[in-house]
Amino acid sequence: MTILSNFAFLYFFTNNMKIKIVNKSKHTLPGYETEFSAGMDLRADLDEPVLLKPLQRSLIPTGLFIELPAGYEAQIRPRSGLAIKNGITLLNSPGTIDADYRGEIKIILANISNEEFYVHDGERIAQMVISKHEQAEWIEVEELLESERGTGGFGSTGTN
């Protein structure tokens, strides 16, 4: 690589967004598990394990509070390993943390399996993705432009 491309590479990978966080948990800050991970794992911050019976849900604290810049959200998503291995998922997925929310991040875990599941302190229970977003402004009109799809709804674009 040339000096310029080395500089561009370093700038790209070191110019990360800075987000203020208060950590009242017993655990380290969320982090990316691999170099190109999109999401950071969030951990349960519990004094004692929480039992999730089949089809039961529970609000699990993380002990984390964040201050996002305007124009950004934090999306809270299920962890695929918990979902496939244990049937544990999030009810409002993805959950959205708005830039003006200052409360504790809590995760709505649900057990959609037929077996009981214990959530333990420090367990990775969800992942958080920081995402830029836009706010829409409605323009009220009498009709919309025609499109190839038209008013076709669920399953209207084909059987495959």
Q: Which residues touch 44 (CB under 8 Å, ≥6 apart)?
A: 50, 60, 61, 62, 107, 119, 120, 121, 122, 123, 125
Radius of gyration from C-alpha coordinates of the chain? 20
- Mean pLDDT on 80-100: 95
The structural domains of the chain, with segments of one domain joined by +, span 17-27+40-132
Strand partners, 118: 51
Which residue type occupies 6? N
Three-state DSSP class for residue 83? helix
Could you tell me whether strands 40-43 and 106-111 are parallel, antiparallel, or unpaired per DSSP bridges?
Answer: unpaired
Please give the model's pTM, rounded to 2 decimal places.
0.82
pLDDT digits 0-9 by tens, 64-80? 999 999 999 999 999 99
Strand partners, 148: none
What dotted CATH number matches 17-27+40-132? 2.70.40.10
pLDDT digits 0-9 by tens, 1-51? 455 555 555 555 556 889 999 999 999 999 999 989 999 999 999 999 999
- Going from the C-alpha of 117 to that of each of 18, 76, 84, 122, 124, the distances in angstroms are 36, 20, 13, 15, 14
